[in-house]
Chains A and B, each alone.
Chain A
Amino acid sequence: MLHVVEGRQQPDPTESQDVTPRLRVEGVTVSFDGRQQAAVDDVSLSIAPGEFVALLGPSGCGKSTLLNVFAGFRAPSSGKAFLDGQPLTGPSAKCGVVFQKHSLFPWMTVLENVAFGPRRLGLQDPRGIARELLDTVGLSDVANAWPSSLSGGMQQRVGIARALATRPPVLLMDEPFGALDAQTRALMQEELLSIWDKLRPTVVFVTHDIEEAIFLADRVVVMQALPGRIAREFQIPFDRPRSPEVMDEPAFIEHRREIADIIRVEARKSFL
Chain B
Amino acid sequence: MHASSTLLAEPRPRGVTLRLVEPGEVAEPWHHDGIRSVTPDLTTLIERVQHGDQNAFAEIYDAVAPMVFAAVSRVLRDPAMSEEVTQEVFVEVWTHAARFDPEKASVSTWAVTIARRRAIDRVRKEQSQRNRVEQLAQRRPEVAPLTDDAVVTRIEGERVGRALADLPPDQREIIELAFIEGLSHSTIAERLGLPLGTVKGRVRGGLQRLSGAMGGAT
User: Do A and B form a real pair?
Assistant: no
Q: Which residues of B contact A (CB under 8 A)?
A: none
